[in-house]
């Protein structure tokens, strides 16, 4: 399967526009993480788990790692519900969206190129 995919994408390279799309999505994600953290600080810690849950759903499947027990500190509510999700989603989630944006843009241009060849 991988060989068939590489044969179909032969001659295509990741262009600056694909990387730009990945950067745009990752910056959008980073802004959303910042807004979520600001909402947690503004509204108090009682809403923190709920707001981070919505971000975990958006970052699926990478967002599942935020519940990993090795990242939790027993008895430290601020770390578990504010700082650790901020660091986790800010780094891992943003890298995930850069990857999705870059690969998604690359595959979309490959499909456009493939269907243009069929019409001719």
| Domain ranges for the chain | 15-119
In terms of pLDDT, which residue wins out, 40 or 92? 92
Q: Pick from 22, 3, 16, 7: which is nearest to 114 by CA?
A: 7
Of residues 84 and 74, the one with the higher pLDDT is 84
43 exposure class (CB count in 10 Å sphere: 0-12, 13-18, 19+) = exposed
pLDDT one-digit tens code per residue, 42-71: 776 566 778 888 888 888 888 777 776 666
Rounded to two decimals, what is the model's pTM? 0.74
Q: Is the pLDDT of residue 93 over 70?
A: yes
């Amino acid at each position: 399967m991988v060989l068939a995919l590489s044969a179909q994408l032969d001659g295509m390279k990741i262009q600056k526009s694909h990387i730009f799309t990945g950067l745009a999505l990752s910056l959008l994600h980073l802004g959303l993480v910042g807004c979520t953290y600001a909402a947690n600080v503004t509204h108090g810690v009682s809403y923190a788990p709920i707001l981070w849950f919505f971000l975990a759903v958006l970052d699926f499947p990478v967002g599942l790692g935020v519940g990993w027990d090795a990242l939790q500190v027993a008895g430290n509510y601020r770390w578990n519900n504010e700082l650790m999700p901020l660091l986790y989603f800010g780094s891992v989630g943003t890298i995930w969206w850069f990857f999705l944006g870059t690969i998604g843009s690359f595959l979309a241009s490959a499909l456009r190129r493939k269907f243009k060849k069929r019409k001719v």
